[in-house]
Amino acid sequence: MPEQLLSVREVAEILGTWKTSGERFPRRLIEERRITFVKIGRHVRIPASAVAELIAANTVQPITARRIATNRNAA
């Protein structure tokens, strides 16, 4: 079975940008060639795996805060 192809609007909804910028963000990703896409005639579709890869590549893991010992009594 072929991989699921998503419309630009569906990608915007997945990324949470639909309400703020509509389709602009996913279209910019396509224009800048920052995401894999398929062009079928005049239709542009994005593989679901490409969206997952984009999210994974841009996920920033938190750093654990370390307590730094300071000498507050020294003056």
Neighbour tally for 4: CB within 10 Å: 12
Q: Return d(Cα 37, Cα 50) in angstroms, integer.
A: 8
Answer yes or no: is 47 within a domain. Answer: yes
Both tokens assigned to 59: 């996920």
Q: What is the pLDDT along the chain (75 residues), one digit of tens a residue?
A: 789 999 999 999 999 998 888 899 999 999 999 999 999 999 999 999 999 999 999 999 988 877 776 666 665
pTM of the model: 0.76
Answer yes or no: is 73 within a domain. Answer: no
Answer yes or no: is 68 within a domain. Answer: no
Both tokens assigned to 19: 């309400």
Answer yes or no: is 66 within a domain. Answer: no
> Which domain, by its residues, includes 29?
5-57
Answer yes or no: is 75 within a domain. Answer: no
Our count of domains for the chain comes to 1
Distance from CA of residue 15 to its chain's centroid? Answer: 6
